[in-house]
Amino acid sequence: MPDLYDDGDMNNMPSKLFEIERRIKNIFINYSFQEIRTPILEDANLFKRSVGSSSDIVNKEIYSFNDRNDKIIAMRPEGTASVIRSIVEKKLDHLSHKLWYMGPMWRYERPQKGRYRQFNQAGIEILGIQEGLPEFEMISVVCSVIQELKIKNCLIKINHLGTKQDKEAFCKALVNFLEPYKKELNEKDFERLHKNPLRVLDSKNAETQNLLKKAPSIKDFIDKSAINLLNSIKKQFSDICDIEIDYSLVRGLDYYSGFVFEAISSELGAQDSFLGGGRYDHLCSQLGGKEMPAIGMALGLERFSNLVTLTNNKIKMVSFIILASNIEPKAYKIAHNLRSFNKAVVLDISLAEGSLKSKMRRANKNNADYAIILGEEELENETAVIKPLKDELKEQQTVSIEDLYSFYKAL
Ligand code: HAM
């Protein structure tokens, strides 16, 4: 199948999301990821136990309802928890996997530009492999997505949250540092300080950010090997994408430890992150499975699509015009044959009744390259008319059906 679009300047095509999804799926398949489809509805507890009870998602953004057995069911806010639930349930947590998924997610957020209550994610998860190569594979996929869809003005931020113990020690130091200033914090940051201190680093408040300038840095709590990993990833991929080590980068979901990352673009406004992910080695055991190292990421397709520009590629479009209802069955079979001969061409048959004039108007509106016209006389003589619509110098011609097939194959 050829690309439907080339890059250029034609936004708001009805199937832009379709084309972006197709290209992203191709990248995932190219990297040898396998598709996994998980249900849209899950036991709401799954997200409390994974995304975390201190996260914004679980605190106030879950769409849930009681089913007929009074069980609380949630519309999935993200894909990772469901993937791990499914791996544990199927007892596949002793193996390694490379999985991708794509589909709608729900979060009860205040709707604004780039933040929707229903949105789509494309995600990948590498399961069963310790820190090291999977980190490179993740950033390589992110760079491929950015490169393939020609995203400009974007930055990949990377950080390392250390081991579970490093993260805990850092949180403690952060709380000790912020405690004397707690009266100066706004309500949201004050709440975060007690529920999930790491998230204070994410504060949008200028005074909090000012205060944080002197706060302890995760850099002083993590291993040399973690810093080496960050430097090495930056070194290897910086010629493809802008990569920055940001020791204040934290993620909004609780399950992360180790390597984390986000991709942002200045063109998106306040909701500037179009992709995020990281390592979550303890989630599987937390959900009742074995200890299984894991890393993954998800891309927000609506935000991402705002950064992508596609134009109509030179794909050929042909209008098939049938002029008499008594020849429709035979003519339709000819159209069927044409479609099977050349799948790279789009063949539009006007299915409604209408005059030649109205059907030609439709062909021009569709930006068709050619019209193939079949009337009673043509079919009686086993012929058809080919009318070029783009090249004014070329005359229409009557050809045999066999020659019509050859012409169509060669388009
Ligand atoms: P997340 O950072 O919560 O991570 O979401 C990933 C992406 O989904 C965001 O960067 C953003 O582009 C998009 N997104 C999130 N919320 C909304 C919304 N309300 N409207 C529009 N777009 C939105 C996760 O979901 C993790 N599960 C990623 C992951 C996979 N980590 C490991 N594996």
pLDDT tens profile 105-155: 999 989 999 999 999 999 999 999 999 999 999 999 999 999 999 999 999
Which of 86, 120, 121 to probe ligand 1 with, by most ligand atoms within 8 A of CB?
A: 121
Which of 57, 58, 119, 262 to probe ligand 1 with, by most ligand atoms within 8 A of CB?
A: 119
Atom of ligand 1 nearest to the CA of 299: 7
Nearest CA to ligand 1 atom 20: 115
pLDDT at residue 1, rounded to an integer = 37
Ligand 1: centre distance to CA 241 (Å): 20
pLDDT at residue 148, rounded to an integer = 95
pLDDT at residue 9, rounded to an integer = 40
**C-beta 300 within 6 A of ligand 1:** yes
pLDDT at residue 312, rounded to an integer = 63
**C-beta 302 within 6 A of ligand 1:** yes
Nearest CA to ligand 1 atom 25: 78
Nearest CA to ligand 1 atom 1: 276
Nearest CA to ligand 1 atom 29: 297
H/E/C letters for each residue in the chain?
CCCCEECCCCCCCCCHHHHHHHHHHHHHHHCCCEECCCCCEEEHHHHHHHCCCCCHHHHHHCEEEECCCCCEEEECCCCHHHHHHHHHHCCCCCCCEEEEEEEEEECCCCCECCECCEEEEEEEEEECCCCCHHHHHHHHHHHHHHHHCCCCCEEEEEEECCCHHHHHHHHHHHHHHHHHHHHHCCHHHHHHHHHCHHHHHHCCCHHHHHHHCCCCCHHHCCCHHHHHHHHHHHHHHCCCCEEEECCCCCCCCCCCCCEEEEEEEHHHCCCCEEEEEEECCCHHHHCCCCCCCEEEEEEEHHHHHCCCCCEECCCCEEEEEECCHHHHHHHHHHHHHHHHHCCCCEEEECCCCCCHHHHHHHHHHCCCCEEEEECHHHHHCCEEEEEECCCCCCCCEEEEHHHHHHHHHCC
**C-beta 123 within 6 A of ligand 1:** yes
Ligand 1: centre distance to CA 213 (Å): 27
pLDDT at residue 280, rounded to an integer = 97
pLDDT at residue 315, rounded to an integer = 82
**C-beta 303 within 6 A of ligand 1:** yes
Extract the residue ranges of the chain whose pLDDT is less than 70: 1-14, 312-313
**C-beta 108 within 6 A of ligand 1:** no
